[in-house]
Amino acid sequence: MAGKEYVRELRDDAVLYCKDPSKTKQEFVDEVNLNNIMERFQASGQAGMASFRPPGVSGDLSSAVDFKTSLNIVMEAEAMFASLSGQVRYRFHNDPREFLEFMEDPKNLDEAVKLGIVSVTNPPGPQEVKVVSMPEVKKVKKDVVDE
């Protein structure tokens, strides 16, 4: 289609000449044909891109958190990452995702301690536990009196 001139008459006294090559992709001609769209709608009840799902998006999302909660989680994580020192952020290419992936791997604990991200305290030593028996409870017998 390159080099073809397109002429469109706007009114009787005005004409628009487009000498640039067309940017319209002709391989989509069947997808955007109104007759084909109507046939798909009659067959499936959905027209055009309404039925489009990106690859990998499927399944039951009813237990997922809502958008606002998800956005708040992301914003909180970004704020926490921004509060780290510049050296630590530089180590993770200023990318919170890379930082979170690093922190999820238990093999990185030593490096996290060296970076000052994590502090490890020694757990208290073994503690002595003494088992004490419960004192005996006297059972009191109640007499039932009939009236």
Structure tokens of 141?
A: 């017998």
What is the distance between the alpha carbons of residues 103 and 95, in angstroms, rounded to a whole number?
13
Which residue from 99, 105, 144 is spatially nearest to 117, judged by alpha carbons? 99
Which residue from 37, 41, 20, 39 is spatially nearest to 28, judged by alpha carbons? 37
Which residue from 1, 52, 47 is spatially nearest to 26, judged by alpha carbons? 1
Question: Under a CB-based contact definition with an 8 Å cutoff, are residues 83 and 92 in contact?
Answer: no
Helices of type H across 83-126: 86-91, 96-104, 109-115
How many residues can be counted in the chain?
Answer: 147
Q: Considering just the CA atoms, what is the radius of gyration of the chain in Å?
A: 36
What is the distance between the alpha carbons of residues 74 and 68, in angstroms, rounded to a whole number?
10
Q: Which residues pair with 6 in a beta bridge?
A: 18
Q: Model's pTM, two decimal places? A: 0.41
Structure tokens of 66?
A: 């809502």
| C-alpha distances in Å from residue 61, one per residue of 66, 71, 92 | 10, 16, 31
Residue by residue, pLDDT tens for the chain (147 residues) are 455 555 555 566 666 677 788 777 778 788 778 888 788 777 776 655 555 555 665 666 667 788 898 899 889 988 988 998 899 999 999 998 899 899 899 899 889 888 888 887 776 677 787 777 766 666 666 666 655
